[in-house]
Amino acid sequence: MERVCCRPLLLAAVLLGIAPPRTFAQTPAPTPPAPASSESAQADPLPELPRPPDAPRSLFRQPAPTPSYACDPLPGAYFEPDSRLDPPSLPPPGWFADVELGVVAPHIKNRLADMVRIPGSSMSDTVHVPGAELDWTVAPRVEVGYRLPTGFGEFAVAYRFFGTDGSGVTTGSDSAALLKSRLSVNIVDMDYASRQFTYFPNWGMKWRFGLRWADAFFDSRADEPFAAAAAGSGVFETRTSNNFWGLGPHGGLELARRFDSSGLALIGRIDGATLLGRIRQNFFEASTAPAPSGQRLTGNTRQTVDQNVPIIDAFIGVSWQPPRYQYAHIAAGYQFEYWWNVGRNSDTMSRGDVGNQGILLGAEFNY
């Protein structure tokens, strides 16, 4: 009977929320989560393929120092002597000076002509004075330059000049007239020249190109006896002159055939230039009739025109370089030079060419 009464009481206590007393215990500290690695943090889309490690693993980590880059040393410096490119048979590198003396006979094709009118008179004539035969003269040429080693060629500046005159007798309008002619030439070359080279043994080839400036002047004068001119045409003096200066490209080629170790060589050279410049011509005559001031009446005509003048220069001869002394060599031979259109005026009848030929002696010194 007592067991039956106790069960209802226990059931009522549960329903009324009467809980047994609670006991308090120390709560354990939470365990920190294990750090995740970068490999496990990132998803691997292709786990079956090998994956190289990240380098660097962090953007905040300083990268490892990389070695500095250095080029391999070059096999050799430029502009250093080379026994293969600077053989003893050729002039050595360095400064050099070249002196040439040409003993030449110049000549002029003087066909200058133009109309001249004497003011204060009715006289109007075509003035043309032929050229007298010019004397032989010496044409020096001086060249200074520097020759680079290792076959890099050379730079040079050269100056050539000559002047001559001549006299003779020509037939004037009234009687024989005394004739006088002059010629003066100046040439400046600034060139680069290659080193001598060839594909055949004992042969050498050398070319050059650069700039040339030139000036050429010539004139002729004819004087008749005053009495003969006064009794005839009334003109006792006539003169013509022509002056050209120009600038243009210049080039040349030289071939040499050396004879073993004797130092002798056969040389052939040809140079050419074409100069663009101006021509100034003057035509003059003097009359026997007096002017109101007491002086003689004169007439003068001047012409100025642009012109292109081709020039060619050829040389053939022999040279000798002492086998044991490569710092000098000498040469001798025949030279020919010709200037076209140096007195040509397309607006008038004037024409004029200049040429010369003769013996050329040359010597070169290296230091």
Which whole number is the average pLDDT over 312-318?
A: 97
pLDDT score for 4:
47
**What's the token pair of residue 178?**
């005394």
In our burial notation (b when 16+ CB lie closer than 10 A, e otherwise), range 39-67 reads eeeeeeeeeeeeeeeeeeeeeeeeeeeee
Report the distance separating Cα 349 and Cα 367, nearest Å.
52
Contacts of 197 (CB under 8 A, 6+ apart): 151, 204, 205, 206
The alpha-carbon radius of gyration of the chain (Å, integer) is 50
Q: Which residue has the tokens 């059931």?
A: 11
Conformational region of residue 94, where left means phi above 0, alpha means psi within -120 to 50, and beta covers everything else: left
Class of the domain covering 104-366: mainly beta
Looking at residue 75, its pLDDT comes to 58
Residue ranges covered by each domain of the chain: 104-366
Indicate whether 361 pLDDT > 80: yes
Residue 296 contacts residue 290 (beta carbons within 8 Å): yes
Indicate the burial class of 11 (C-beta count within 10 angstroms; 0-12, 13-18, 19 or more): exposed
pLDDT at 258: 86
Band (pLDDT 50/70/90 cuts) for residue 39 is very low
Tokens (6 digits) for 72:
């391999």
Give the Cα-Cα-Cα angle 107, 111, 112 (nearest 5 degrees): 115
Asked whether the predicted pLDDT for residue 3 surpasses 60, the reply is no
Q: How far apart are CA 330 and CA 317, in angstroms?
A: 11
| pLDDT band per the 50, 70, 90 thresholds, residue 56 | low
**What per-residue confidence (pLDDT) applies to 152?**
86
SS3 (DSSP) at 97: strand
DSSP for 248-300 reads EEEEEEEEEEE-TTS-EEEEEEEEEEEEEEEEEEEEEEEEEEEPTTSSEEEEE
Tokens of 256: 């040499």
Does pLDDT of 52 surpass 50?
Answer: yes
User: CA-CA distance, 202 to 84, in Å (whole number)?
Assistant: 15
Give the pLDDT of residue 166: 97
Rounded to an integer, the average pLDDT of 283-299 is: 87
Among 97, 93, 84, smallest CA distance to 197 is for 84
Residue 149: predicted pLDDT: 84
The single residue listed with the structure tokens 């013509």 is 240
Tell me how far apart the alpha carbons of residues 330 and 320 are, in angstroms, rounded to a whole number: 5
Dist. CA 180–CA 166, nearest whole Å? 6
pLDDT of the residue at 319: 92
